[in-house]
Chain A
Amino acid sequence: MSDPVLSIRDLTVEIPTRGGLLRPVDQVSYDIAKGEILGVVGESGAGKSMAGNAVIGLLNRPAKITGGEIWLNGTRIDKLQGENMRRLRGKDIGMVFQDPLTSLNPLLTIGDQLTETMLQHLSITQTEARKRAIAALEEVGIPAASERLDSYPHEFSGGMRQRVVIALALCAEPSLIIADEPTTALDVSVQAQIIALLKRLCRDRGTAVMLITHDMGVIAETADRVAVMYAGRLAELGPVREVITAPEHPYTDGLMGSTPLASKGLKRLRQIPGSMPRLTAMPTGCAFHPRCPKAQDICRHDPRPRRDGGRAACHFPITHSAEETA
């Protein structure tokens, strides 16, 4: 495999608070290759968005990257500041947010917002930018694109607006897209369309995608590999089929058990007892041990388990027979 587009190594984000140092992202490592879609899943508060924001350099103060490395196309970017980081945003890394209703500036036409972004990153003329803006809108499936260019965001439906947002994120042809729950705010009926659109566009261009979502169904259909996060740490990372059909981490296993998946038939849903620890009260050792059915003494003590070579960061990964995995 060629060099990955994005490579993060032991990425750690910390927030200093009066109650002490919180670690919403704790030594997370993963790669995303050209044209690959990496799904990032986990409960609310697991640190999925925080990791994405760290990559694009948009952490809200006082959160800060305090450890690890981020490499984009062979260049280290976690230490970049101000102008240097700004130039990467939009140009090399695009981002799609959750809520298309609030992602677009209500007082500027979508044409304005598109051309401004293109003119910022590409050396083209205003007329050329307009032409490209129309093409970009056509590509994301906005009908009568040339007429809609001068419309304001409120003149579009939610699904259409998310298409515009995708066009904006892709208009300078970035090599990585971070999509943070791109369909959560949308009608169920348009969710699939938007995911399919994102998938097609990124496949066509070879864009690497970090797809953050709660929805295992979306991951199952869209992603190539999946990263499961728990309390700021990476619990499991592996190819989607394997992780879904044969999870190795007890947490992933629980997560799959509590997700109704067509491919697994109509099993009764299992609930994982307890809830994810708060950052202010992290257990020692493995963060999952208080809820884990397989926890042993070693799980309760530092150092915590690491994902060395295997898929799961667990002392006692679940083993599966060959027939289960198939």
Chain B
Amino acid sequence: MTLGGDCRNCRLMLAYALRRVLQSFLVLLVVGLVAFSMFRFVGDPVDNLLGQERTQEDIERVRADLGLDDPFLVQYWTFLKKAATGDFGLSYRQARPVGDIIAERAPATLELALVSGTMAIFFGVVLGIFTAIRRDGWVANVIMSTSLIGVSLPTFLIGILLIYLFSVELGWLPSFGRGEVVDLGWWTTGFLTASGLKALILPSITLGLYQMTLIMRLVRSEMLEVLRADYIRFARARGLREKSVNFRHALKNTLVPVITVTGLQLGSIIAFAIITETVFQWPGVGLLFINAIQFVDIPVMAAYLMLISVMFVGINLVVDLLYFAIDPRLRADRTKAH
């Protein structure tokens, strides 16, 4: 029952957020364990660092430096402490701090993910609503049929087709790379130059198309479901305008379930970026990871794994909190649960 006011909701929200943050940390600890295990069990780090000509002394020294003789838990703890500060050691291949390498590459991937994620959500939601409201119109039917292509074609094929059409045949857009980027010191951006923006178009379409289609189909089916609900009939029976029925009463209810899936999709955009970055030779962390696998560059792989999981967990956290903010029933259930 109402104890009155927003403040109660604030406190509830805070308690809920704290719990979710804690859970997120647990997840990261587990992923950290996996990443850490790669160091220990895939290849021999001493081999990797010292090469063929080495003395027993060298080996002892490196083992001591790396703390390889410490108990497992102590090593894990040291790894975590360093990881938290972005220190994953030196790349085996480039012999530079992995943190620096990732920091150089992350902006490319994040900008790509941001653009394609925004596109996927925007067009996915708009087209989903449109095809639900006009479900018998021919435009909606054409969109729905075309969208089947979006889900069924593999990402790399879409990328190659786009390159063929817009780069090779028409010559409008670049087929690889980021174009000119502006260095802001801590970040390099392609948003500020024409060539940077042009270079973003094809990769973001390639990366976002699948997610957009998925979001669109999801929004459509949820919206159709909601439009059949009793409260929508009742809203119509009270003479509310179609606009209000569709966008005030139906849309909000549609978005509650859509938010979860969309959040997960955004997480997978960053993971899927590996393929798109390979097709377009996009200098992001995905490409870095693919190269790292070829050279068994464990520190880079571990750092990538951690980065991706931080993103996933972060997005999940935001989604859960959004959920909480939108749906009053959730707030009530929490009150009862405690």
Contact = CB atoms under 8 A, between A and B. Distances in A.
Contact of B237 (A56, A106, A121): A56
B231 A169 contact: no
A249 B75 CA distance: 91
A197 interface: no
Given A90-B237, A120-B238, A107 B256 contact: yes
Q: Mostly helix, strand, loop or mixed at chain B's interface?
A: helix
Contacts of B229: 102
B105 interface: no
B4 A95 contact: no
B338 to A, nearest CB: 17
B118 interface: no
Question: What class of interface size applies to chain B in its complex with A?
Answer: 20 to 34
B11 interface: no
Given A88-B239, A107-B253, A165 B329 contact: no
Contact of A89 (B4, B231, B236, B327): B236
B254 to A, nearest CB: 10
B14 interface: no
Contacts of A151: 2
A150 B235 CA distance: 18
Contacts of B244: 116, 120
B252 interface: yes
A63 to B, nearest CB: 14
B235 A105 contact: yes
Contact of B241 (A56, A86, A88, A169): A86
Given A86-B239, A147-B4, A169-B238, A107 B326 contact: yes
Interface in A31-69: 56, 58
B22 interface: no
Contacts of A97: 230, 233-234, 237
B239 A89 contact: yes
B249 interface: yes
A97 B237 CA distance: 10
Contact of A117 (B4, B231, B238, B328): B238
A152 B330 CA distance: 12
B201 interface: no
Contacts of A168: 234, 238
Interface in B222-273: 229-231, 233-242, 244, 248-249, 252-253, 256
A152 B253 CA distance: 14
Given A87-B239, A90-B239, A103 B332 contact: no
B1 interface: yes
Contacts of A216: none
A66 to B, nearest CB: 21
Contacts of B240: 90, 116-117, 120
B238 A89 contact: yes
Contacts, number: 88
B238 A103 contact: no
Given A99-B230, A147-B4, A155-B2, A106 B328 contact: yes
Interface string B309-338: 000000000000000001111001000000
Nearest to B234: A103
Contacts of B233: 58, 97
Contacts of A155: 1-2, 332
A104 interface: yes
Contacts of A148: 2
Contact of A120 (B4, B231, B241, B326): B241
Interface string A106-125: 11100000001100110000
A318 B240 CA distance: 47
Nearest to A89: B239
B307 to A, nearest CB: 36
Contact of B239 (A107, A121, A152): A121
Given A105-B231, A108-B249, A154 B239 contact: no
Contacts of A106: 231, 253, 327-329
Given A97-B233, A147-B4, A105 B239 contact: no
Contacts of A121: 239
B230 to A, nearest CB: 4
Interface string A297-322: 00000000000000000000000000
A95 to B, nearest CB: 4
A104 B235 CA distance: 8
Interface string A76-102: 000000000011111100110101001
Interface of B: 1-2, 4, 229-231, 233-242, 244, 248-249, 252-253, 256, 326-329, 332
Given A95-B237, A107-B253, A169-B237, 9 more contacts: A86-B239, A86-B242, A89-B236, A90-B240, A103-B234, A105-B231, A150-B2, A151-B2, A155-B332
> Closest 9 CB pairs between A and B?
A90-B239, A89-B239, A90-B238, A102-B230, A95-B237, A152-B328, A105-B231, A103-B234, A117-B238
